[in-house]
Structure 1
Amino acid sequence: LNDNDLEEKFVKGSGNGGQKINKTNNRVQLRHLPSGIIIECQETRSLEQNRKIARKRLIAKLDELHNGDQSKIAKKLDKVRKRKSRKRQKTKKKYT
């Protein structure tokens, strides 16, 4: 991930969390210029933690975009899907 390809903005947060979240610029808006993907994060009150979380989400999104079925997220979802399917089959076999 090249820092020159990123545009980072810090904007005021919104939603629940009291007045503090609405007064400070702790929401991170990260834009990947080549692909146009925009990620927003305001999970925590800390700007630095929000930056880290936003970058992780952007990396995961780009991985999914470029690798498709071979991305980490897709593999994880496939694993869970298979596990549920096996469990369903086992239960079905047990009660029939």
Structure 2
Amino acid sequence: MSLSFPVSVEKNAALQRRMAELEVLESHLEETFIRSSGKGGQNVNKVSTAVFLLHIPTALSVKCSIYRTQGLNRYKARTLLCDLIAEFKFGVEGSKKEAIRLKIIKQKKNKTRKSKRKI
């Protein structure tokens, strides 16, 4: 069963491919909706827009309340969960966050070298 989220078709397809690569099935996910907090006015107080996802085989969980709509939070929670599972399966080297962190460290080193050369 393929879920459809309120994002572009390409993003939906990319998420489905990523979940298939990581062997994450919808039947492995336990999804609950909870009330969000923060910006959003009365909508936040009345509607359960935050999403809590639990991946049963790995016991990894994600709570997402970034957006004001439930559909976008469901999509984002699945992408965050895929990131966590990739980090869990492949270690720190395989994660996007680690690659970004290393890139920033390298940029800072280059900046300090450049400033030392000027002196």
Match for residue 99 of structure 2?
A: 75
Question: What amino acid is aligned across from residue 10 of structure 1 in structure 2?
Answer: F
Is the contact between residue 13 and residue 23 of structure 1 (CA under 8 Å) also seen in structure 2? no
Match for residue 108 of structure 2?
A: 84
**Structure 1 runs of 4+ with >3 Å offset:** none
Is the contact between residue 50 and residue 65 of structure 2 (CA under 8 Å) also seen in structure 1? yes
Q: Secondary structure at the match of 2:76?
A: helix
How many residues align? The count is 95
Q: In structure 1, what is the Cα distance between the partners aligned to 2:39 and 2:70?
A: 17
RMSD, aligned CA: 1.3
TM-superposed deviation, 1:70: 2.6
Gapped runs of 5+ residues in structure 1? none
**TM-score between the two structures when normalised by the length of structure 1:** 0.88
Aligned runs of 1:12-27 on 2, under 5 Å? 12-27=35-50
Gapped runs of 5+ residues in structure 2? 1-23
Q: In structure 2, what is the Cα distance between the partners aligned to 1:60 and 1:79?
A: 18
**TM-score between the two structures when normalised by the length of structure 2:** 0.72
> Between the two proteins, what is the percent identity of the paired residues?
34
Is the contact between residue 7 and residue 31 of structure 1 (CA under 8 Å) also seen in structure 2? yes
